[in-house]
């Protein structure tokens, strides 16, 4: 058999699979169509969408894209030295995107108690990273990108402080203050 015959048979397999995938991207990701729950088709398409990314909402170029979240931490040690830190590590782009998604949870959550818990857990991570810290000020900011129409009218992108709080360690034991009575 010649080379064109091999390509033709290969194309007969690949083209329908590619068309099916693009169709699912269109239906699930772009049009946000939801299948009736409970059936095997819904489960199979759901698994495929999650594994392949076909069900991702491709709206990053849409006018409804929200502000970009950012969290910074001002760490002050016992000597008064101020250091600024972030949760992103720079270890990999994927890890830093995951951190951004975790920070973005703050904006998605409506319950003030859950928001406070999220912020407290991030601050606890910063205290663990900086054992010499006496206090940490967290600033949650959003970078508002104007629409193209607003840019043409002269509006510039800008940062907004959405949340700011200072956390201090409740109790700090000085050297030699550990009670021997508390040992079992």
Q: Where are the domains of the chain?
A: 3-52, 68-168
Position 171 scores a pLDDT of: 55
- Distance of alpha carbon 15 from alpha carbon 180, whole angstroms: 75
Contact (Cβ atoms closer than 8 angstroms) between residue 54 and residue 20:
no
83: which 2 tokens? 């250091």
Inter-CA distances, 59 with 53, 74, 106, Å: 13, 33, 20
**Successive 10-residue mean pLDDT values, the chain, 184 residues:** 64 83 75 78 79 64 66 94 92 86 87 93 95 95 85 92 90 44 32
Position 128 scores a pLDDT of: 94
Position 183 scores a pLDDT of: 30
Position 59 scores a pLDDT of: 54
Positive or negative, the CA dihedral 168, 169, 171, 172 is negative
Position 81 scores a pLDDT of: 96
Cα–Cα–Cα angle for 74, 78, 81, rounded to 5 degrees? 50
**Strands 158-168 and 82-85, sheet pairing:** unpaired
- Distance of alpha carbon 175 from alpha carbon 156, whole angstroms: 52
- Distance of alpha carbon 38 from alpha carbon 172, whole angstroms: 54
124: which 2 tokens? 């606890």
- Distance of alpha carbon 56 from alpha carbon 67, whole angstroms: 19
Position 85 scores a pLDDT of: 95
Residues forming beta bridges with residue 138, ordered by sequence position: 73, 165
The pTM assigned to this predicted structure is 0.57
- Distance of alpha carbon 38 from alpha carbon 13, whole angstroms: 30
């Amino acid at each position: 058999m010649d080379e064109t015959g091999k390509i033709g048979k290969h194309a007969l397999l690949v083209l329908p699979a590619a068309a099916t995938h693009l169709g699912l991207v269109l239906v699930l990701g772009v049009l946000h169509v939801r299948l009736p729950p409970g059936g095997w088709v819904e489960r199979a398409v759901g698994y495929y969408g999650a594994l392949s990314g076909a069900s991702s909402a491709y709206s990053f170029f849409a006018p409804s894209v929200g502000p970009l979240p950012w969290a910074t931490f001002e760490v002050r040690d016992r000597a008064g030295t101020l250091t600024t830190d972030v949760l992103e590590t720079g270890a990999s782009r994927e890890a830093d995107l995951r951190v951004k998604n975790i920070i973005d949870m703050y904006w998605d959550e409506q319950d003030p108690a859950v928001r406070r818990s999220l912020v407290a857990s991030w601050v606890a991570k910063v205290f663990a990273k900086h054992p010499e810290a006496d206090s940490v000020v967290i600033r949650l900011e959003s970078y508002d990108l104007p629409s193209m129409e607003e840019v043409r009218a002269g509006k510039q992108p800008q940062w907004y402080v959405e949340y700011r709080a200072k956390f201090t360690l409740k109790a700090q034991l000085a050297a030699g203050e550990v009670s021997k009575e508390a040992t079992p």
